[in-house]
Structure 1
Amino acid sequence: MEESKRITWNEIENKILKNQSELLTKELLGNFPYENTGNELRIPPWYNIFQLNNLIPLIAFFLVFRFISAKVKKHLWKDSVGFRQYRLQNLTVSLIHSIISGILAIHFAYFYTEAMFQQPMHWYQPWIKYGILFSMGYFFHDMRNTLQYKNEFSWFNIALVLHHIGSIFAFVTAITSRKFVPFAYCALIMEANSIFLHGRTLMQLSNTSTNYYTIYKFIQIINVITFVGCRFGIQTWQMYWVFTHRFSMHPFFVAFGYCGCIIFFVINGFIFKKILIADFMPANYSRKNAAVYRDERKD
């Protein structure tokens, strides 16, 4: 611990700004959570994702979700049939992922606040990648689960797969560059909202929204509040951070940061609009204007 006190983040940033990075030796840094690689100034080595220390845990997490999915299909929602049963089982696995990932992201934000909001580019510890690999394992599982269901090929399906591909690419970029990992955890805060988003849909599909109406309305309200904070709030901050640090990184990271944030902002805006219409507008208007009734299919 004494070695890590030899330097501070301010001193590191000053040396980087003065092009004196070579002075940041391993002896000086000690076990400080910073790697003097300069990877933020070059294209990420994406092929490093196939290194065994990345590939093995990724495959393991993927298999964990395959196992969870198999257990859910065997034991839960047996009274439902067809597409409704598929959606209930799929959403249950999604809810499990959101709970775990959301807790991990909020835990990191609380205990490593400086890393997430002040040093999201440079802060790095080897163990931090496992939370991201966990979510990547889920995204691969969900893509496979979605694409293998023959009756689920739709615009929503395509958008979901593209969302997962974009998220996986962003996470691979963070893991292989060993930069921007706290930035990726910041994005995972959106999963805290997904807990209520999935819970809301599960209650609708399982017809428990009428039996537990007070709980359902509470989840609806919390869903809207957390949607604004955990999605729009986080993405606004991320775009602001990329803008203020645009000269400190390779143009690829700047372009990817802008494009990724804007695309996901638009997607979330579309989803938010549909939620507001479906949950807070008259039923007839909701059915006509909110394309959220794919779950009413019988087949």
Structure 2
Amino acid sequence: MDIALEDGVFNPYEYEGSPDVDVVYGYLATALSFLMFTVINYVAIHIGPPKNYKGDTWRWRNTFVSWIHADIIGVWVLYCLLFRSEVFSADLILYCDYYIYTVPAISLGYFMYDFLDHVYNGKVISNYEVILHHVGVMWTFGYNIQHRVNIPYSLIALMVEVNSIFLHARKLMQFDQWPFDHWLYRMVVGLNLITFVRFRIWTVILIGLGLYKEWHRLTLAYHVFGSITMFIMYLINPILFWRLFKNDVLRSCIQHRKSDHKHANGINGVNGKVPELNGDCHKQP
């Protein structure tokens, strides 16, 4: 591999990108991904939300398309973890091949689609934190794809999509008003919390450590945007995890205690039966 060197040290300003992949392939994968998610969006419009859903149709559709993206990228990343482990033991800045190069390119196409979907539907202000996240991701992935560097780091960053599979599935099940005590909903909630810690919080920590470790091998632009993006992630993830834990664990415990108390005192029940939770519980975040 032809690496730009200065006094025997890697110089990121002179490196012209991995010769193992053609950047045109990245452009093509990004464009096809943008087109694919646009088509999925129109299919979702045609199908429509579940009959039980009474909220904003755009919110359901946006979550559904995000769930599809998470399924595709999450499974792809898991495959790399299980069967392409050599990628993560290689040089995380310089290693590149077409298989892993395609992953951030497809994801970039999705984030470009979702950004424009927010703009077109007037959701930029109400979902400003999502827009900030998307801008950071689009810049980072766009830079990596254009310069064919940091592709394994992009793959590590996309491990968060493993958690997004269950995060979005949880929300879709709430939209469809699944009972909170249903075994499948409880399983999704449990996997969401577990994967949140393993694939979202831990992944952000790894990226932050990598940014610090590889600081001398990155350009000034990457220092600035990488640091800003990591700062946003370090703020958002603990808040989101606390909200999930509070709504899915603490609230559930409180509801069970209230139900047990009513059952013990014979309140609001017939022959000792505890009344079912009403639909208002599905309005939780």
**Band the TM-score falls in, shorter-chain normalisation:** 0.7 to 0.9
**1-structure distance, mates of 2:204, 2:16:** 22
Matched with 2:67 is: 95
Matched with 1:145 is: 117
Q: Runs (4+) of structure 1 moved beyond 6 Å?
A: none
Deviation at 1:81, TM superposition (A): 6.7
Does the CA-based 8 Å contact 2:88-2:152 persist in structure 1?
yes
Matched with 2:250 is: 281
Matched with 1:55 is: 27
Does the CA-based 8 Å contact 1:44-1:173 persist in structure 2?
no
Confirm whether residue 270 of structure 1 aligns to residue 239 of structure 2: yes
- Alpha-carbon distance change, 241 to 54 in structure 1, aligned in 2, over 3 angstroms: closer
Deviation at 1:39, TM superposition (A): 6.3
Matched with 1:236 is: 205
Matched with 1:48 is: none
- Alpha-carbon distance change, 209 to 86 in structure 1, aligned in 2, over 3 angstroms: farther
Deviation at 1:268, TM superposition (A): 1.4
Q: Which of the numbers 164, 171, 182 marks the counterpart of 2:134? A: 164
* Seq. identity, %: 23
Deviation at 1:154, TM superposition (A): 4.2
Does the CA-based 8 Å contact 1:203-1:216 persist in structure 2?
yes
- Alpha-carbon distance change, 273 to 243 in structure 1, aligned in 2, over 3 angstroms: same
- Alpha-carbon distance change, 148 to 180 in structure 1, aligned in 2, over 3 angstroms: same
Deviation at 1:223, TM superposition (A): 0.6
The 5-angstrom pairing of residues 1-299 of structure 1 reads 19-20=7-8, 40-41=12-13, 52-77=24-49, 79=51, 83-150=55-122, 152=123, 154-155=125-126, 157-210=127-180, 213-282=182-251, 296=283
**1-structure distance, mates of 2:70, 2:145:** 20
Structure 2 length normalisation: TM-score?
0.77
**1-structure distance, mates of 2:223, 2:125:** 32
Structure 1 length normalisation: TM-score?
0.73
Q: Secondary structure at the match of 1:281?
A: helix
Amino acid in structure 2 at the alignment position of 1:142: D
**2-structure distance, mates of 1:274, 1:66:** 31
Does the CA-based 8 Å contact 1:39-1:179 persist in structure 2?
no
Amino acid in structure 1 at the alignment position of 2:108: M
Deviation at 1:260, TM superposition (A): 2.1
**1-structure distance, mates of 2:31, 2:52:** 31
**1-structure distance, mates of 2:223, 2:241:** 26
Deviation at 1:43, TM superposition (A): 9.3
RMSD over aligned CA atoms reads 3.3
How many matched pairs? 254
- Alpha-carbon distance change, 145 to 253 in structure 1, aligned in 2, over 3 angstroms: closer
**2-structure distance, mates of 1:193, 1:231:** 7
Does the CA-based 8 Å contact 1:122-1:180 persist in structure 2?
yes
Give 5+ residue unaligned stretches, structure 1.
1-6, 22-37, 46-50, 287-292
Does the CA-based 8 Å contact 2:53-2:177 persist in structure 1?
no
Deviation at 1:187, TM superposition (A): 0.5
**1-structure distance, mates of 2:132, 2:110:** 14
Deviation at 1:277, TM superposition (A): 1.8
What per-residue deviation string (whole Å, max 9, x for no partner) do you get for residues 245-280 of structure 1? 323333443444333222212111221121122222
Q: Secondary structure at the match of 2:56?
A: helix
Does the CA-based 8 Å contact 1:77-1:88 persist in structure 2?
yes
Amino acid in structure 2 at the alignment position of 1:259: I
Does the CA-based 8 Å contact 1:43-1:250 persist in structure 2?
no
What per-residue deviation string (whole Å, max 9, x for no partner) do you get for residues 57-102 of structure 1? 3222111111111111112426367743322222111111000011
What per-residue deviation string (whole Å, max 9, x for no partner) do you get for residues 4-24 of structure 1? xxx9xxxx99x96x9447xxx
Q: Which has the higher helix share?
A: 1
